[in-house]
Each structure stands twice: as C-alpha cells, then as structure tokens.
Amino acid sequence: MPAETLLMVSGQPMAGPLLITPQVFGDDRGFFYESWNERRFRQDLIAAGVPAAEAEGLQFRQDNHSRSSRGVLRGLHFQLPPEPQGKLVRCSEGSIFDVAVDLRCTSPSYGQWVGATLSSENHQQLWVPVGFAHGFLTLSDVAEVQYKASGFWNRDCERSLRWDDPSMAIDWPLPQAGVSEPLLAAKDAEAPDLAALVAAGEVFP
C-alpha cells in the first residue's frame, strides 16, 4: 500500500512526514507482515518527492524500544546537527497518538504539526524526517513503541520542545487517553516553547 502524505489542521499537505500502511497477511492463525523493507521504504520516499540520491543515502543507525502506560506523553524531541535523527515509528502493542512538528524555518509548514494514531491493530508507521520534532501520547493501558533512527543518540544534540506550546496548538486527544493532564518526564515538563528555541538558534534551516 503506498505511503500517504498527512494533512495539517488547515487541510494542506505537509511535505516530509509519511504515514506507511504495510500489507498484512492474516487468517485465523494470526498475521504476518514486513515491518521494515528497505527497498519499499526508499520507493515511498522517492514517490513522495524526496530526491533519489537522498533516499538512497538514508541509513538507520539504531533501533529504539519504549514501553509506556496510559496517559504518558513522550516528547517533543529532536536532535540538531551534527547528529540529527529521522525516525520511523510504529506501535507493536496498544495504541498511541503520534505527532511530528515542522521545525524547518524556511518550510511553508514551519511550526505546524501532523498526527496519526498508530496501533497494534492498524500496523501503521509514521516517518518523521530530520527537521521535525517528534512525540506521542499513550492512548491504551500500555503501549510498546519501536522506532528506527537515522542518527545515533547524542546528548549534546538532543533538544525538547514544549508539548503544549499554544503557538502550535497540537490537538492531543487527552480525553481518549483518559487523562486531563499527560504524564511527563521532568525534561519534557520543563521544555522551552518554539519562540525560545528560535531565539537560541535551535531550529533547522
């Protein structure tokens, strides 16, 4: 199934993030699908307008796995050069609301966000390219999330963006998660807003 370009709240497409729906083969015994296929992923990127040389040159450096309880919000996280990260995210148990925020200051969709529900039932994946902040809210009692990262984790490059910055107005489905306020790590609760990141020069060209 071809990857889809997600729409912003304004109804316009955002260049970069892709929602990928794999072909799942299932019967009364269970199911099987390819959670990662390098050739198909590169084809999806090229079909979405990524230059062929850039798509062919993309490599994943590490795989990450997290487990979160209901109402946990992780993010919004990103890494600056020299170790930026693109992330291919999926949820293998439970469900999450996954978000990407455009931090490319010359992009038409700068400061805008897109989101998608990823779950163990729909098997969908979200590609979050370099230049975007990423985060997710856990909607189920437990969610296990795996993602492939195109750069190694680097403490010096890691940054956080405030999850509830009013300038972005992300529509987090807190009622669906059954909470009025999300459960946050200390660094996420204290994260700067977008204006502070811009003032510090901590966004992308």
Active site residue 147: yes
**Which listed residue (33, 77, 110, 134) is catalytic?**
77
**Which listed residue (33, 65, 134, 147) is catalytic?**
147
Length of the chain: 205
CA neighbor of 135 nearest in space, from 184, 63, 197 = 184
Q: How far is CA 56 from CA 21, 50, 75, 80, 193, in A?
A: 21, 10, 29, 22, 34
By the 8 A CB rule, do 89 and 145 touch?
yes
Sorted by sequence, the CB contacts under 8 Å of residue 103 that are 6+ apart come out as 78, 110, 111, 131, 132, 133, 161, 194, 197, 203, 204
- Point out the residues that are catalytic: 77, 147
